[in-house]
Structure 1
Amino acid sequence: MENPPTMFCYQCQETARGKGCELQGVCGKHADTSARMDLLLYAVRGIAIINRALREKGEPDCDASHFVIDALFTTITNANFYNDSLDGFIRKAFELKNILAGTAKKRGIELPDLPQVEFFATLDEADKCESFTGVLAEPNEDIRGLKQLAIYGCKGMSAYARHAANLGYEEEDVYAIIENAMAETARPDMSVEELLSLVLQVGEGGVKVMDLLDHANTSTYGNPEVTKVDIGVRDRPGILISGHDLKDLEELLEQTKDKGVDVYTHSEMLPGHYYPFFKKYPHFAGNYGNAWWKQTTEFEKFNGVFLFTTNCIVPPRGNCPYMDRVYTTGVVGMPGTHHIPDGHPKDFSKLIEHAQKCPPPTEIEHGEITGGFAHHQVVALAPKIIDLISRGKIRKFVVMAGCDGRMPSRDYYTKFAEGLPQDCVILTAGCAKYRYIKLPLGDIEGVPRVLDAGQCNDSYSLVRIALALKDALKVPSVNDLPIVYNIAWYEQKAVIVLLALLSFGVQNIHTGPTLPAFFTPDILKVLQEKFNIGTISTVEDDIKNLINQ
């Protein structure tokens, strides 16, 4: 390959020119960071190959499975920008791979040849390994796209598996599916047909892991309840917690009791307010701000301390006034921030002491957000909803779950929500909700026209709701329900949600604002033939085609 690009990454929706980032990621990721992630993923495939072989003998290594999900999670968009942290993951990966290979040898297990990659002390020369570690190592673009689709699905699965494990819930099948998929993508002889089957297996794994995490969250914190969440501020110092990990939220709230500070949620942590468990903390103040991408402006007004528990951290602009007040934990990494190591529980004392010295937040908006419509709550409302459908008061449910993003084209989702007929109800989950959840869309005889199930992983609740409606309305399949899908995507957790829906056989999903760059024309043709996947067009045409057909 002549004059190869400095890097190549097309895992998120905002990738450069809709084709791939080659100089620097739109997310802010630099080429040397991208090279480290490629090398880490290469090593993870080696670990997966060996642990799969050990699993077939009934002896999988639990530490290896945990490392695989953390390594995949840390390479998700907007999770880790810190090269030192990634170097640590890479060192551990090759050490672990060698230990596992030794174990396999002792057990008499024959392994395929596993190429060795020299680990440079600083990884400054990691690009020398690009010929067999990077995305472009696979020359066939269709095979490459399907392999990456499986890998990105595994990244999303890994995020959810880590959240569940933090609450003490694990399932061997989930680890097996992830490791099998990662091992299979290392094969040079995979056919398109085999990869399509593998992708759907990953989707089935997505259903399993979201079911596991739903069980972990509800067993630990109770079933979400309809809740009104304050979006204003109080007059005490504040801590703003972002991300998705509810265990971190629990430990932070417990350690901040009677410390003179309030805790606010940000972006995907908003649904923490819906769980009964967290309502016992009087200093759990409310939600501050909007979706992840607005943090570089909104954080300047919060004045307090920030805790990032998972991905969705954005590199700050030059002369950032809040950088010294940012704390990260788990797989999150950002140069210039404070990192809180794992512990049982984690020690948030320095963060709390820092927050106590800060002024209160500056209010940027006021009012309330209503949410908590996960499957348990909506099933309780089922008789009323069925009655509204039978009387023609509700014509369509519109699933508008997924991710938000910073591109101007995202205004489409606000306009689409505003343009929906009054007899349509939006089912949502994930940070895509911030495009319309604060709009005055009203209700239908007491049922709000926006039903927020929670975080992106709570898209599983939307599936449970659809299955419950199928049984109640006695229709053959979910594709016969008055439900349409207009989903926004940004990163790899949205990918696993999509694959999970496809594994259920859901048809006619529209996604946007653009289709993934790894969907080549041939891949898209197959997905359209099998599932009738489409992309968005204009608000007017999509309402006509999806609602008024």
Structure 2
Amino acid sequence: MNQTALNTSERELPMFCFQCQEASKGTGCTIVGVCGKTPDVANLQDLLIFILKGISFLSVGTKLPETLEHRTSIFIMDSLFATITNANFDRDVFIAKVREALDLRDEVRQHWEQQQPLANKTLLPDAAVWHGSDEEAFDAKAKVVGVLATEDADIRSLRELLTYGLKGMAAYQYHAYQLNYTNREVEQFMQRALAATLDDTLTVDQLVALVMETGKFGVDAMALLDQANTGVYGHPEVTKVNIGVRNRPGILVSGHDLKDLEELLQQTEGTGVDVYTHSEMLPAHYYPAFKKYEHFVGNYGNAWWKQASEFEDFNGPILMTTNCIVPPKPGYVNRIFTTGNTGYPGLKHIPEGANGQPKDFSELIDLAKQCPPPTEIETGEIIGGFAHNTVTSIADQVVDAVKAGDIQRFFVMAGCDGRMKSRNYYTEFAQQLPNDTIILTAGCAKYKYNKLDLGEIGGIPRILDAGQCNDSYSLAIIALKLKEILGLDDINELPISYNIAWYEQKAVIVLLALLYLGVKNIHLGPTLPAFLSPNVANVLVEQFGIGGITNVEDDMEMFLGAYA
């Protein structure tokens, strides 16, 4: 599909979504999402985003009662998170969210109208006034307010880049909120940025500036979550994590939400049921607060996309706490539960606890007791826990190794894993890196190489895992600390190269955060985002040196130069 010339037939597509790396044919999913998202759900997500923009338009600059202001911020954050790739596939959820969004918007509008001069009351955008009363009206409107509603390819590209960054930001805000940490300035920016996507007077340059500002608030959002996680659970510690199993029933926890894991561990203590992590929940083992649970056994399996086979082998119940669910297979469909913003038609959903009480996981625990222990799929240990606090504590040792020439270069290989065979590139790249290099990683991209035996440099493992995708903040802090110790003026003078794998919208906000911090020459793969128009891509290349990947041999030479 040519992004610069959309014809009538393209406007009548069942759906159009290009927010993730798996966008069909590198342009966009038009019949059904590669992720499994159906057209009606994709369109309803577009409609929800459309109404969120209307709510934001009305709320920016309007003095709302404190309780309404809080509800508005939380609803926007929660709804943005629900539309992230592989988070929620349930039509009924989005019908309910659209109804709630319309009610909330009308409530905010009453206050807006009371505070606006009469002349302004005729200037409202469609997103602030449209109303539908039933599902048929929702479906009809949803088909005309999505991505392709913006005709100019460059404006569309920047609006979507901005929106996807906000979705990633919302995910990190959500996790912090679960731990009672909030940042009002970030919340206000999210509404201001959403409202800006309705402003047809904004130029490409103005939108580029807003995208960069999104990176600034992305840093703030990740800093808030880091503060929340470490404030509640302690700073991550270097930890060896078991990847085998025990001979007891188990519950497998996937996703990202540490609060859900904490409540499950509390409720399973003394029941004879073990708890295992999967994919992005692996870094939970690094936090001191979780080490006290003897039944917190280890990590089972690999990255999110392998769940279709690994969940069946686990034998016990599985809890999906956030995005990264894929359409379940018959072999485990009766054992998989969702909670929070995750949902799939027909799966049992664990609701929030009443009046701030913990969620009730008794159904999972009772089911686990009836299930056989997990089938062992591998044995051994993997090491992690190299967040900024840990690495900063050994910064002098690292710097000495750099000065002595023992460490020639660091490679940031953070981000996401995915099912494309082309992602084997990252395994081969890690294997072929010289022995005097170190990999800094965060996110599920690490599953392409975190079980390789790459050895150590002076006692420092050659793979330093900082944690989940949101812990990419740690990698930025580490870089800034090294810059300070080495007395450098520019972060780009550090011996660090960025070869990042991306998949969904949390990776987008990480990228924007790195750009805001001044990091240049970041390479993204396995493909560049489909939502970047040629002109917008050129801006990123010219101003920030953004690039793609080719093959391991050529890229190794490009990255290492004289060190290859």
Q: What range is the shorter-chain TM-score in?
A: over 0.9
Are 1:130 and 1:137, in contact at CA under 8 Å, matched by a contact in 2?
no
2:494 to 475, 481, 498: 481
Partner of 2:226: 214
User: 1:210 is paired with a residue of what secondary structure?
Assistant: helix
CA contact (8 A) 2:417 2:445 kept: yes
* Pairs within 5 Å for 1:31-430: 31-54=39-62, 61-108=69-116, 110=120, 112-115=123-126, 116-119=129-132, 121-123=134-136, 126-131=139-144, 133-317=145-329, 320-343=330-353, 344-430=357-443
2:4 corresponds in structure 1 to: none
Distance in 1 (alpha carbons) for counterparts of 2:552 and 2:526: 12
| Partner AA of 1:325 in structure 2 | R
For 2:205 and 2:49, locate their aligned partners in 1 and report how far apart those are by CA, in whole Å: 23
Aligned to 1:547, what secondary structure does the other structure show? helix
Q: Deviations over 1:420-469 (max 9, x none)?
A: 00000000000000000000111111100000000000000000000100
Question: How is 1:463-542 mapped onto 2 (pairs within 5 angstroms)?
Answer: 463-542=476-555
Tell me how far 1:53 sits from its aligned partner: 2.3
Q: In structure 1, what is the Cα distance between the partners aligned to 2:325 and 2:153?
A: 30
In the superposition, the TM-score normalised over structure 2's length comes to 0.95
Cα distance, 1:58 vs structure 2: 9.1
Shift, 1:355, TM fit: 1.4
C-alpha distance in 2 between matches for 1:399 and 1:175: 29
| Letter in structure 2 aligned against 1:497 | V
Q: CA deviation at 1:271?
A: 0.3
| Alpha-carbon shift at residue 122 of structure 1 (Å) | 2.7
Letter in 2 for 1:22: T
How far the C-alpha of 1:519 sits from its partner, in A, is 1.1
Partner of 2:37: 29
- Aligned letter for 1:257? E
Q: Distance in 2 between matches of 1:10 and 1:62?
A: 31
Gaps in structure 2 of 5+ consecutive residues:
1-6
The structural deviation recorded for 1:2 is 2.1
What count of residue pairs does the alignment treat as equivalent?
Answer: 546
Partners of 2:437 and 2:237 lie apart in 1 by: 22
* Aligned equivalents of 2:112, 2:201: Cα separation in 1: 24
| Superposed displacement of residue 56, structure 1 | 9.4
Indicate the residue corresponding to 2:3 in structure 1. none
Residues 30-79 of structure 1: CA deviation (Å, up to 9, x unaligned): 10111110110001101111221225999971100000000000000000
Rate the CA distance shift 1:57–1:298 in 2: closer, same or farther, 3 A. closer
Q: Distance in 2 between matches of 1:71 and 1:342?
A: 16
What is the identity, as a one-letter code, of the residue corresponding to 2:240?
K
1:455 to 464, 468, 478: 468
- In 1, distance between residues paired with 2:67 and 2:297? 47
Structure 1 residues 179-188 or 48-57, which shifts more?
48-57
Q: Could you tell me whether the CA contact under 8 Å between 1:310 and 1:330 is conserved in 2?
A: yes
SS of corresponding position for 1:53: coil
Q: 1:183-228 CA distances to partner (integer Å, 9 max, x unpaired)?
A: 1011122210011011011111100000000000001000000000
Conserved? CA contact 1:379–1:468, under 8 Å: yes
2:27 is equivalent to residue 15 of structure 1: no
User: Are the equivalent residues in 2 in contact too, given 1:35–1:127 (CA < 8 A)?
Assistant: no
Would you say the 8 A contact 1:37–1:86 is kept in 2? yes
Name the CA distance, whole Å, in 2 between partners of 1:526 and 1:127. 36
Deviation of 1:521 (Å): 1.1
* Matching residue's letter, 1:313: I
Distance 1:271 1:145 in 2: 34
